[in-house]
Amino acid sequence: QLEALAALATYHFEHPEDPFPRVDATSKHLIGYDMGHPLMPAEQFVTNSITFDEGRRIFIVSGSNMSGKSTFLRTVGVNVVLAMAARTVRARGMELCPMAIGSSLKIADSLAGGVSKFYAEISRLRIILNLTEQPLPLLFLIDEIFQGTNSHDRQQGAQAVIIELLRRGAMGMLTTHDLALARIPETYKSAMQNVHFSDTLVQGELHFDYSLKEGVVHKSNAIELMRSVGL
> Taking the mean position of all CA atoms in its chain, how far away is CA 7?
24
pLDDT tens digits, one per residue of 53-63 = 988 999 999 98
pLDDT at 149 over 80: no
**pLDDT exceeding 90 applies to what percent of the chain?**
54
pLDDT of 181: 85
Largest CA distance in the chain: 55
Beta bridge partners of 138: 100
pLDDT tens digits, one per residue of 12-53 = 899 999 999 999 999 999 999 999 999 888 888 899 999 999
70-92 CB burial, b ≥16 within 10 A, e <16? bbbbbbbbbbbebbbeebbbbbe
Which has the minimum average pLDDT: 102-106, 118-122, 189-193, 205-209?
Answer: 205-209
Q: Name the amino acid, one letter, at 74.
A: R
pLDDT at 223 over 80: no
pLDDT of 91: 95
| Cβ proximity of 43 and 30 under 8 Å | no
pLDDT at 215 over 80: yes
pLDDT of 194: 93
pLDDT at 138 over 80: yes
